[in-house]
Amino acid sequence: NVLILDFGSQYTQLIARRVRELNIYCEIHPYHKIPANLDPFKAVILSGSPFSVRSDDAPHPDLSAIKGKKPLLGVCYGAQYLAHFYGGKVAPSATREYGRANLSIVKDEAKLFDEITENTQVWMSHSDTIKDLPVGGKRLASTSDVLNAAYRIDGEDTYAIQFHPEVYHTTEGKRLLENFLVHIAGVEQSWTPAAFVDTTVEELKQKVGADKVVLGLSGGVDSTVAAVLLHKAIGKNLYCIFVNNGLLRKDEFESVLDQYKDMGLNVKGVDASARFLKALKDEADPEAKRKAIGKTFIEVFDDEAHEITDVTYLAQGTIYPDVIESVSVNGPSVTIKSHHNVGGLPDFMKLKIVEPLRMLFKDEVRRVGAELGIDKTLLGRHPFPGPGLAIRILGDITAEKVRILQEVDAIFINGLREWGLYDKVWQAGAILLPVNSVGVMGDERTYEKVVALRAVESTDGMTADWVNLPYEFLQKTSNAIINRVKGVNRVVYDISSKPPATIEWE
Ligand code: XMP
């Protein structure tokens, strides 16, 4: 187990993911909440930070229980912190260093740079520089602009690097982390999907015992993996509810429900389409639509949960990024957040909570899903927003508009699959615009709807770029849509990146 102390860097989660990729378990804790019991942690990593160590309001935690006592690696701010507070000197750099740099490695007995090539590319992002090393400091590497790009402290397992080993552009960053964690700190590489499944199933058995658990399935990866894990632990005492809000993709409710049943899950499909449509009637404002859907979902779920007698637990597919930041920006998981809730707490929200995935990153959820034998197509599905097609129908929502968009979306998505493009795209969908345009079909003038197609590449939905889909694919798709979907006479392709645009149109 490895402790990552977060000083607020945008890359902290990336450090954790790189460590996990080495099959090593790690936890991120904020710098001002260092765990009282450090025994479980075999090594500690200090993250970067947007602060300057020289500033009074910068994070200045007491590291006396860690430094010199546990293997310690300071990254960027972490490296500067170790210099600034232990007898070295940090000053503003003459030139700020951002981006690519190449390391010149000093020969040393330390293993940090073992098998890392001379001149290896690293990624820098800092405006302060370490002028003097701390007491006992031995330089390990420099770049053309930064003399002290890496150092260690003599007589301790303390290491510090100015660059970011966690980012993709630091070519041998993972090797460096492995050198530190495995070869210096001696941490075991035993965090595998199989080990996670074994221990989690055992923990769930202990925790839940013979009690009943209710879980909302969404068709997405997180809720599905959570359900299969729980099912493995407690079998038929897991009651799954899968709500059709009428805003899913074409035929999705039926096909996903069948898949769930094939997996042996005890699942009840509830078709509440009419109830959602009613709640959305005449609602055109994006946030109001989201609220109406959230509220209706909670009502439907609460009604269904009441049908099950003596439930003790509510299971959720919460994943680690939600826990760290407490805000979930993407993903289809049915995470029930208190802010959805207007008025008193519905009864199911008074249940005890069980969140089997709360320590996993998204890619780990997929690996665990594969370990559990969940179908590859289900695990590889694009993210789909909770409010579904409601936020892809701009303006108010009617049954007819939902039908049109479902048809268009199905042609687009099936086309991506047929052309082998589906897995190259992070997320794709169609948007029904609130305008009509003039067209001609045969000798007839038409005045019908416009749809936009959107396909983006991304890693986490925070930033995204449009995908350069083949013209021939776009041409065939556009033809198919206009010929087959009644009510549409024009197709456009969205070529905006995020930022400044967003992935969804509302
Ligand atoms: P944006 O449009 O903000 O989308 O660039 C980023 C990611 O979040 C998804 N998204 C949502 N997911 N409820 C959700 O569960 C929502 O209200 C919502 N809005 C956007 C979007 O599909 C993309 O993956």
Residue nearest to atom 14 of ligand 1 (CA): 385
Per-residue model confidence (pLDDT) at position 15: 95
Does pLDDT of 220 surpass 70?
yes
Residues 229-244, mean pLDDT to the nearest whole number: 98
Most confident option among 181-185, 218-222, 358-362? 181-185
Per-residue model confidence (pLDDT) at position 346: 81
Is the alpha carbon torsion for 318, 227, 405, 304 positive or negative?
A: negative
> Nearest Cα to 46, choosing from 28, 33, 64?
28
Does pLDDT of 345 surpass 80?
no
Token pair belonging to 61: 């935690």
Residues 437-445, mean pLDDT to the nearest whole number: 93
> Nearest Cα to 103, choosing from 124, 76, 82?
124
Structural domain includes residue 384: no
Provide the ipTM. 0.99
Residues 19-41, mean pLDDT to the nearest whole number: 95
Q: Which one of 158, 184, 210 terminates a domain? A: 184
Token pair belonging to 292: 């109406």
Residue nearest to atom 9 of ligand 1 (CA): 330
Q: SS3 for 390-433, per residue?
A: HHHECCCCCHHHHHHHHHHHHHHHHHHHHCCCHHHCCEEEEEEE
Q: Which one of 184, 202, 229 terminates a domain? A: 184
Per-residue model confidence (pLDDT) at position 96: 74
Does pLDDT of 331 surpass 50?
no
The mean pLDDT value of the chain amounts to: 93
Residues 237-253, mean pLDDT to the nearest whole number: 97
Q: Which residues of 178-226 form beta strands (DSSP E)?
A: 212-217
Does pLDDT of 341 surpass 70?
no
Residue nearest to atom 7 of ligand 1 (CA): 330
Residue 220 sits in the same domain as residue 283: yes
Residue bearing the bigger pLDDT, 95 or 177: 177
Residue nearest to atom 24 of ligand 1 (CA): 330
Which one-letter amino acid corresponds to residue 364? E
Does pLDDT of 399 surpass 60?
yes
Token pair belonging to 192: 């595998």
Pairing of strands 121-132, 89-102: antiparallel
Cα–ligand 1 centroid distance for 504 (angstroms) = 6
Cα–ligand 1 centroid distance for 11 (angstroms) = 21
Cβ < 6 Å from ligand 1: which residues? 290, 329-330, 383, 385-387, 427, 461, 498, 502-504
> Nearest Cα to 200, choosing from 364, 328, 61?
364
Structural domain includes residue 391: no
d(CA 260, CA 308): 19
Angle, to 10 degrees, between the axis of helix 221-234 and the axis of helix 362-371?
40
Angle, to 10 degrees, between the axis of helix 221-234 and the axis of helix 193-208?
60
d(CA 118, CA 443): 71
Q: What CATH code is carried by the domain that includes residue 210? A: 3.40.50.620
Q: Which helix (H) or strand (E) holds 58?
A: none
Q: Quick one: what percent of the chain has pLDDT higher than 70? A: 96
Centroid of chain to Cα 444 = 49
Which of 330, 413, 460, 506 most suits a substitution to test ligand 1, by most atoms within 8 Å of the C-beta? 330
Residue 94 sits in the same domain as residue 35: yes
Residue 240 sits in the same domain as residue 310: yes
Token pair belonging to 27: 């936890």
Residue 261 sits in the same domain as residue 289: yes
Does pLDDT of 347 surpass 70?
yes
Residues 390-394, mean pLDDT to the nearest whole number: 98
End-to-end CA distance of the chain: 41
CB 215 within 8 A of CB 241: yes
Residue 63 sits in the same domain as residue 156: yes
Residues 119-145, mean pLDDT to the nearest whole number: 95
Token pair belonging to 31: 């710098």
Range of the domain at 214: 193-379
Which of 247, 335, 362, 503 most suits a substitution to test ligand 1, by most atoms within 8 Å of the C-beta? 503
* DSSP states of 80-145: HHHHHTTT-EEEEEEEEEEEEEE-EEPP-S-STTTTPPTT-EEEEEEEEEEEE--TTEEEEEE-SS
Residue 263 sits in the same domain as residue 128: no
Structural domain includes residue 70: yes
Residue 201 sits in the same domain as residue 168: no
Across the strands, what pairs with 30? 6
Q: Which helix (H) or strand (E) holds 505?
A: none
Residues 358-367, mean pLDDT to the nearest whole number: 92
Does pLDDT of 308 surpass 70?
yes
Structural domain includes residue 463: yes
**Residues in binding site:** 218-224
pLDDT class for 333, splitting at 50, 70, 90?
very low
Under DSSP, the state recorded for 39 is: T
CB 160 within 8 A of CB 110: no
**Residues in binding site for ATP:** 218-224
Does pLDDT of 327 surpass 60?
no
Residues 144-166, mean pLDDT to the nearest whole number: 96
Cα–ligand 1 centroid distance for 113 (angstroms) = 41
Task: Please identify, by atom number, the ligand 1 atom nearest to the C-alpha of residue 464.
Answer: 5
Per-residue model confidence (pLDDT) at position 344: 60
Does pLDDT of 343 surpass 80?
no
Active site residues: 76, 164, 166
Which of 223, 329, 389 most suits a substitution to test ligand 1, by most atoms within 8 Å of the C-beta? 329
Residues 193-217, mean pLDDT to the nearest whole number: 97
Residue 178 sits in the same domain as residue 212: no
Token pair belonging to 191: 């965090």
Per-residue model confidence (pLDDT) at position 99: 86
Per-residue model confidence (pLDDT) at position 463: 86
Per-residue model confidence (pLDDT) at position 461: 86
Residue 231 sits in the same domain as residue 297: yes
Per-residue model confidence (pLDDT) at position 53: 95
pLDDT class for 420, splitting at 50, 70, 90?
very high
Per-residue model confidence (pLDDT) at position 338: 37
Task: Please identify, by atom number, the ligand 1 atom nearest to the C-alpha of residue 329.
Answer: 8
Provide the 3-class DSSP secondary structure of residue 258.
helix
CB 22 within 8 A of CB 10: no
Structural domain includes residue 390: no
Does pLDDT of 172 surpass 80?
yes
Q: Quick one: what percent of the chain has pLDDT higher than 90? A: 86
Cα–ligand 1 centroid distance for 7 (angstroms) = 27
Provide the 3-class DSSP secondary structure of residue 310.
coil
Token pair belonging to 464: 């995204």
Per-residue model confidence (pLDDT) at position 332: 30
Pairing of strands 311-315, 267-271: unpaired
Burial 190-220 (b: 16+ CB within 10 A, else e): ebebeebbeebbeebeeebeeebbbbbbbbb
Task: Please identify, by atom number, the ligand 1 atom nearest to the C-alpha of residue 458.
Answer: 24
* DSSP states of 458-471: -SSSSSBEE----H
Cα–ligand 1 centroid distance for 209 (angstroms) = 36
Indicate the number of domains in the chain.
3
Q: Which one of 123, 150, 184 terminates a domain? A: 184
